[in-house]
Amino acid sequence: MPKVTFIHDDGREETVEAPVGTSLMMAAMQNSVDGIEAECGGCCMCATCHVYVEEEHLSKLAEPEELELEMLEETAAERRPNSRLSCQIPLKDELDGLVVRLPERQV
Ligand code: FES
């Protein structure tokens, strides 16, 4: 199972494991990682599952779909070039070791 590390705004790090196919958002929720709201439950309709993907991992991700790009306009925290919505990132073996930072706020 791929391991993913979430780095909180205060520097805390949490590393979790989740099965391939689980979204990054669900991996956080199922492991009680705080800092992701996911108000829409993963339908790409709320932008409260915002994360900053560490630069070296960005190329391993599929390009965001149009809907994700639209929703990234709605993030509560600053949108950056490495901003993604975690519900739109399905985990796969190649993403083992992925590191993402959580924004200061989601709403
Ligand atoms: Fe709502 Fe990701 S959970 S956009």
Q: What is the pLDDT of residue 4?
A: 98
The answer to whether the CB of 77 is under 6 A from ligand 1 is no
Residue 101 lies in a domain: no
Residue 50 lies in a domain: yes
| 82, 54 Cβ separation under 8 angstroms | yes
| 74, 39 Cβ separation under 8 angstroms | no
Number of domains in the chain: 1
Residue 90 lies in a domain: yes
Tokens 């494991």 label which residue? 17
**What's the 12 CA to ligand 1 centre distance in angstroms?**
23
Residue 105 lies in a domain: no
**What's the 19 CA to ligand 1 centre distance in angstroms?**
19
> What CA–CA distance (Å, rounded) separates 27 from 5?
10
Residue 106 lies in a domain: no
**What's the 67 CA to ligand 1 centre distance in angstroms?**
11
Q: What is the pLDDT of residue 54?
A: 97
Q: By C-alpha distance, which of 88, 12, 84, 11 is closest to 50?
A: 84
Residue 46 lies in a domain: yes
Q: What is the pLDDT of residue 73?
A: 98
Q: What is the pLDDT of residue 32?
A: 97
Q: What is the pLDDT of residue 9?
A: 95
Domain with residue 71: its CATH number is 3.10.20.30
Give 81-95 pLDDT, tens digit per residue: 999 999 999 999 999
